Amino acid sequence: MQFTMTHYNFNVADVVKSIHFYEEAFGLKEVRRITNPKFVIVFMGDGVSNFRLELTQQFDHPQKYELGENETHLGFVSDDFDVAHQKHKAMGIIVYENPKMGIYFVEDPDGYWLEIVPIRK
């Protein structure tokens, strides 16, 4: 038996704002949408892998989501780490850098952290 990872969910306060963020910061595109009166789910893809970021907005949840100590994160590999870093710095979304490890983290509109790493050879 084998399992394949397909998606990771972030509950968001404003799906339109989140879509814009992920398009601008990472080039992700909407690949699927599920809408009903209580929620909307938007799956974002990178156009390369089958992995999807699932953004869920629940219409009856007006308060900000509690992320605890925010010790979880989603990781991205960049094929041009320096250009990615410059772009994210210009966007003002970098929240932590570790030059010794060669990584940095950005924060999305809902407070989720995203790790950016270079391609390692």
CA 28 to each of CA 5, 67, 105: distance values in angstroms, whole numbers, following the listed order: 18, 23, 17
**Beta-strand (E) ranges in the chain?**
7-11, 29-36, 39-45, 52-58, 73-78, 94-98, 103-107, 113-118
Q: What's the pTM? A: 0.88
Residue with the bigger pLDDT between 56 and 121: it is 56
Q: What is the mean pLDDT of residues 12-41?
A: 97
Concatenate the DSSP letters of all residues of 34-52 into one string.
EEETTEEEEEEE-SSSS-E
Can you give the pLDDT at residue 45?
Answer: 97
Query: In terms of CATH architecture, what is 1-61?
Result: Roll (3.10)
Task: Convert the pLDDT of each residue in 42-80 to its tens digit.
Answer: 999 999 999 999 999 999 987 887 877 767 788 999 999
Q: Per-domain residue ranges for the chain?
A: 1-61, 72-121
Tokens of 29: 């595109």
72-121, what's its fold? 3.30.720
CA gap 35, 72 in Å, rounded: 27
Question: Each residue of 62-80: b (16+ CB within 10 Å) or e?
Answer: eeeeeeeeeeeeeeeebee
